[in-house]
Amino acid sequence: MSSAQIYRGHVFHIAGAPDVQTADHHLVSLPDGAVVVDDEGVIAWVGSAADLPEQYAALPVTTAGFLLPGFVDAHIHFPQTYSVGAYGGGQLLEWLENCIFPAEARLADPAFAEKIAADFIDRRLSVGTTAAMVFGSAFPVAQDALFSASLAAGLRTVSGRGIQTSGPPAAKPLMTSEAEAIELVAAEIECWHGRDVLVRPERSALVQVAIVPRFSLSTTTETLAALGELYEDVRDRGVYVHSHLSENNRPGTGEIAAVRATYDVEHYLDTYDGLFMPGSTRGGSSLLGRRTIMAHAVHCHDDELARLAAAEASIAHCPTSQLFLGSGTMPWRRTIDAGVTVAMGTDVGAGDEWLISRVLAAGYGVHMTEPGDAAVSIGPAELLFSGTLAGARALDQEQLFGNFDVGKEADLLLIDPERFPALDGAIAGGIRADDEDLAARQTLFALLNGLREPAISGVVVRGRRVR
């Protein structure tokens, strides 16, 4: 039986392949829009419902208030599913030791791992995160549970076990020897990278693997050298790299100071770029490439941003987390002007929101509050771009999803404002400009700001209703 479908509602998406600076010109708003999905889950047609071609007229129709592309979360910690709002922290390094390392140690227990994986996937379904770069657990049993649950749910997940070969006593349960770290990552790649494609080679992969050193303070020069070698071997197979970069800048005792002191490097990024020996001299291969996503990058030097851009690596921007941990504000204009793709990350559990549109709303306020001339009012189309298409680009899967361009796989959210009265009020009763284009942007802005979980009434990945 054919599973072809029409989805009908107010369509918003960023068409084509713009960058954030030009996203506004690519905003499509179709107040009575239709997205036709064929029985392979591919978008066959998009436009105003009044113009629907005759050939689709008999297909079943699902209607919602709004249709958005699925949200992409470019940085989220699966082992921290229960750690949102963990108290007893301080800034990054204290929070890791006091709250996070002990919480993550619990995933060694297979029953706990199974439960947290199921809950993590449920949360993603609730908030419409159709694709994510998932910072993984140290424990293979938990990674197996995560990938299995993700495949069963039909979500897109890139993940890898969090690698730690060095750290404070609280991190001990998460640490392995140098040799074991590499063996475990290699085994994870063999087991899970593109696993579903082995069964159905004609489809895109729903699960893929990343090499995930937790951050430079959890590794050694030996680890980074060995990971560089491994990456050289597997990068052509599309294996990813994911880590944290330049998050906490507390003078003297913060993360960045500690990285520079530990490795004696000029810039934090050097440690991921093969330049991890004293004086930023080369010690191995770079971990940077178009499938590399670095979370935070709050305090980068211009040279580091230029290097990320040249390598076509991306930044996962996590403003809710940066507020919670007092990490500071990633300079929006300076970062995007450097030409780096900036996608959005919840960074759960330092980030206290699972819903990407909440992270976008926080980002709006944070960047409006940047000092002096750096203050910027990010436009509605730029916000939508950052939470959808930029994420697909950061994952190097823009050809597959991220918007409603014909030929892409259908990842979409059905949103019904009446399921959440505050949103309903803002949509139905908010003031709108007479100018139609501005009014559409005002509606999109109200939608992204006011959206909460209850209003997400359905989630579709690759044309399949996953919720």
Chosen from Zn ion, ligand GUN, none, partner binding at 96 (C-beta under 5 to 8 Å by type)? ligand GUN
Q: Smallest distance from the beta carbon of 77 to ligand GUN, in angstroms?
A: 5
Q: Smallest distance from the beta carbon of 112 to ligand GUN, in angstroms?
A: 18
Residues 332-391 that bind ligand GUN (CB under 6 A): 347, 350
Are 110 and 141 spatial neighbours (Cβ–Cβ below 8 Å)? yes
Chosen from ligand GUN, Zn ion, none, partner binding at 215 (C-beta under 5 to 8 Å by type)? ligand GUN
Q: Is 267 in the site for ligand GUN (CB under 6 A)?
A: no
Phi and psi (nearest 5°) for 164? Answer: -140, 120
Query: Taking CB under 6 A as the rule, which mask of x and - marks residues 172-211 in contact with ligand GUN?
Result: ----------------------------------------
Chosen from Zn ion, ligand GUN, none, partner binding at 92 (C-beta under 5 to 8 Å by type)? ligand GUN
Q: Which helix (H) or strand (E) holds 45?
A: strand 43-48
Cα dist. 193→82, 157, 287 in Å?
26, 10, 18
Q: Among residues 228 and 319, whose Cβ is nearest to ligand GUN?
A: 319
Q: Smallest distance from the beta carbon of 64 to ligand GUN, in angstroms?
A: 34
CB environment 398-411: b (16+ within 10 A), e (fewer):
bebbbbbbeebbbb
Positive or negative torsion for Cα 3, 7, 13, 18: positive
Angle at 343 between CA 275 and CA 457, to 5 degrees: 145
Q: Is 214 in the site for ligand GUN (CB under 6 A)?
A: yes
Q: Is 347 in the site for Zn ion (CB under 5 A)?
A: yes
Cα dist. 58→4, 51, 53, 54, 55 in Å?
10, 14, 10, 8, 7
Other C-beta atoms closer than 10 Å to the C-beta of 436 total 11
Q: Smallest distance from the beta carbon of 206 to ligand GUN, in angstroms?
A: 25
Q: Among residues 167 and 380, whose Cβ is nearest to ligand GUN?
A: 167
Q: Among residues 7 and 78, whose Cβ is nearest to Zn ion?
A: 78
Give strand pairing partners of 422: none
Are 13 and 415 spatial neighbours (Cβ–Cβ below 8 Å)? no
Are 85 and 352 spatial neighbours (Cβ–Cβ below 8 Å)? yes
Query: Taking CB under 6 A as the rule, which mask of x and - marks residues 54-93 in contact with ligand GUN?
Result: -----------------------x--------------x-
Q: Is 273 in the site for Zn ion (CB under 5 A)?
A: no
Chosen from Zn ion, ligand GUN, none, partner binding at 214 (C-beta under 5 to 8 Å by type)? ligand GUN
Q: Among residues 104 and 144, whose Cβ is nearest to Zn ion?
A: 104
Q: Is 97 in the site for ligand GUN (CB under 6 A)?
A: no
**Secondary structure (3-state) at 291:** coil
Q: Is 100 in the site for ligand GUN (CB under 6 A)?
A: yes
Between CA 176 and CA 164 the distance in angstroms is 7
Q: Is 317 in the site for ligand GUN (CB under 6 A)?
A: no
Among 256, 231, 233, 250, residue whose Cα is nearest residue 241: 231
Q: Among residues 219 and 443, whose Cβ is nearest to ligand GUN?
A: 219
Among 74, 113, 121, residue whose Cα is nearest residue 240: 74
Q: Smallest distance from the beta carbon of 258 to ligand GUN, in angstroms?
A: 11
Q: How many residues does the chain have?
A: 467
Q: Is 137 in the site for ligand GUN (CB under 6 A)?
A: no
Chosen from Zn ion, ligand GUN, none, partner binding at 247 (C-beta under 5 to 8 Å by type)? ligand GUN
Please give the distance of CA 57 from its chain centroid, rounded to a whole number.
36
Residue from 123, 235, 244, 408 binding ligand GUN (CB under 6 A)? 244
* Cα radius of gyration rounded to whole Å, the chain: 22
CB environment 85-96: b (16+ within 10 A), e (fewer):
ebeebebbbebb
Q: What is the DSSP letter of 161?
A: P
Q: Among residues 98 and 442, whose Cβ is nearest to ligand GUN?
A: 98
Structure tokens at 335: 């970062």
Chosen from Zn ion, ligand GUN, none, partner binding at 159 (C-beta under 5 to 8 Å by type)? none
Stretch that binds Zn ion, among 183-191, 266-274, 289-297, 301-309 (CB under 5 A): 289-297
Q: Smallest distance from the beta carbon of 244 to ligand GUN, in angstroms?
A: 4
Q: Smallest distance from the beta carbon of 215 to ligand GUN, in angstroms?
A: 4
Cα dist. 93→80, 168, 261, 435 in Å?
15, 10, 15, 49
Q: Is 96 in the site for ligand GUN (CB under 6 A)?
A: yes
Size of the site for ligand GUN (CB under 6 A): 11
Residues at the interface with Zn ion (CB under 5 A): 295, 347
Residues at the interface with ligand GUN (CB under 6 A): 77, 92, 96, 100, 214-215, 244, 247, 321, 347, 350
